[in-house]
Structure 1
Amino acid sequence: MLFYLTTLNLAKVLHKDAPTLKEGETDKQIVAAIEAWKHSDFLCKNYILNGLDNMMYNVYSQVKTTKELWESLEKKYKTEDVGMKKFIVGRFLDYKMVDSKTVTSQVQELQIILHELHAEKMELSESFQVAAIVEKLPLSWKDFKNYLKHKRKEMGLKDLIVRLKIEKDNRFFENKVGKHPMESKANLVEPKANKKRKHFGEGLSQGKNKYKKFVRKCYI
């Protein structure tokens, strides 16, 4: 709206008071300037009112000057902006991850809130975002949270998301198989070939039986 009013050369009446004519003054230039101001004020005020919805039009249509109207609207919307910022900050601070939902989906929800904060010109450093997300991990991720908190090397937001996805996949595999992937791999034992042991003398006796001659009695 401000840009549109500026292109129409009407923005000057938003912040300045109307010129006044002193008593006994009859200068035609001053009178013409006052009339021009009144005309600009009338146009500008009605342009603004036409941009409002019906309910707000009924509230602000009784305002006398454009300056008064503009200041009232600025106060209203700036107050709403402050309230919106507080609401978004409250959502971010109160957000807690739960075990009933996947961690990755909850991280995405947090990223949406962070994007809303940035849109309200409340930018947070990446290191703060990472630390906040780690701190909000659910109770079942306590060990992994402590592991991340004690890492000396600083992580970026993308690195954190990758690590969370890997940990989620490992937990899924663990619940499915019953062991952690690395643990199950370490416990694999290759079956040994069963070799038959020959008892001492077994081969010898078999050899003797092999070459044993059949003896018959001869009757004449």
Structure 2
Amino acid sequence: MFQVPLPASHAERSENFDGANFKRWQQKMLFYLTTLGLTRFLTEDAPPSSEESDKETLMAVDVWKNSDYLCRSYVLNSLPDVLFGVYWDMKSAKELWETLDWKYKTKNTGFGKFVVGRFLDYMMVDIKPLISQVHELLVLIQELLAKRMFINEAFQVVTMIEKLPHSWGDFRNCLTHKRKEIDTEALVEKLRIENDKRRSDKRSMKVGVKANVVDHGSSSKNKKKSGKNFKVGA
């Protein structure tokens, strides 16, 4: 015998879907419909019936249709007006749910391909701070992992090494030929230390050049003074 879903509190009502973060909205809507006892209508078709069906069967069909209508309405009411106008005429909760699932998961898959493309094309350059570029690459990796695209850590490490800028060629070769494998965290720390060392060397070089300029200037002045004194003495 078909059971009528029991009423539930609406305190856990799902947030409205704004066209983004579909997976999060879908999970919250599932939880909300579970509290209402309506999730079965997202996957079930109406029970079969005909003009010859007995009274009990017809009553069960009516109850099913009423509950399916409620389920479909809850999903529709969580959509913005522009999407409500597109999907309001879906015949059942199942049809509505499957259509949304196909539409927005396909869209998310496209976004995943976009992230893959960005990840493959990303190359670090010498004109930007290295560590900020490392962070950008790590964000891309996290976006791929969030899309359930498995990238093992060894691949992450090798990729980051290969994407180092041109001026890091010697350091890249040194890391590539190391026999001991390192994880992502250790690589980032090595890059940070090497980057700090290079910045310190540059500062030292600038100070040295500046000191040489000052010394050269002082020597020139001393020579001029010596020349003047010589003339006076003559």
Q: Does 1:39 align with 2:62?
A: no
Residues 165, 24 of structure 1: alpha-carbon distance in 2 compared, 3 angstrom cutoff: closer
- Take 1:23 and 1:31, find their aligned partners in 2: how far apart are those partners? 9
Which of 10, 31, 35 matches 1:3?
Answer: 31
Q: Which has the larger radius of gyration?
A: 1
Shift of 1:68: 1.2
Of 5-14 and 71-80, more deviation after overlay is shown by: 5-14
Using the alignment, how far apart are the partners of 1:57 and 1:148 within structure 2?
55
Query: Any residues of structure 2 matched to 1:142-153 within 5 Å, and which?
Result: 142-153=169-180
Q: How well do the aligned residues superpose, as a CA RMSD in angstroms?
A: 1.5
- Distance (Å, rounded) in 2 between the aligned partners of 1:159 and 1:7: 46
Amino acid paired to 1:64: K
Q: Which has the higher contact order (CA 8 A, sep 6+)?
A: 2
- 2:46 matched to which residue of 1? 18
**Aligned partner of residue 36 in structure 1, secondary structure:** helix
Match of 1:158 in 2: 185
Query: What do residues 61-81 of structure 1 show as CA deviations (whole Å, max 9, x unaligned)?
Result: 111211211111111121012
Distance 2:32 2:196 in 1: 54
The DSSP-based 3-state class of the residue aligned with 1:116 is helix
CA distance in 2, matches of 1:125, 1:24: 61
Q: Which residue among 93, 103, 107 is the counterpart of 2:134? A: 107
TM-score by length of 1: 0.77
Q: Which residues of 2 match residues 1-220 of structure 1 at below 5 A?
A: 1-25=29-53, 27-178=54-205
Q: Note the residue ranges of structure 2 that are not aligned, 5 or more in a row.
A: 1-28, 207-234
Percent identity for Structure 1 against Structure 2: 50
Deviations 1:167-200 (A, max 9, x none): 1122112222239xxxxxxxxxxxxxxxxxxxxx
Deviation at 1:37, TM superposition (A): 0.6
| Structure 1 portions without partners, runs of 5+ | 180-220
Distance in 2 of aligned mates of 1:162 and 1:66: 52
Provide the secondary structure at the position in 2 that maps to 1:9.
Answer: coil
> Distance between the aligned counterparts of 1:117 and 1:59, measured in 2?
31
* TM-score of the two chains, using structure 2 as the length reference: 0.72
Structure 1 CA distance for aligned equivalents of residues 65 and 191 of structure 2:
64
Cα shift readout 1:49-70 (whole Å, capped 9, x = no counterpart): 0010111100001112112111
CA distance in 2, matches of 1:98, 1:108: 14
Deviates more, 1:3-12 or 1:39-48: 3-12
3-state secondary structure, aligned to 1:52 = coil
Following TM superposition, by how much is the alpha carbon of 1:86 offset from its aligned partner in structure 2, in angstroms? 0.8
How many residue pairs align between the two structures?
178
Question: Greater helix percent: which structure?
Answer: 2
Kindly provide the CA deviation profile for residues 12-60 of structure 1, in whole angstroms up to 9, marking residues without a partner as x. 22112112322323x2210110110111011011000001011110000
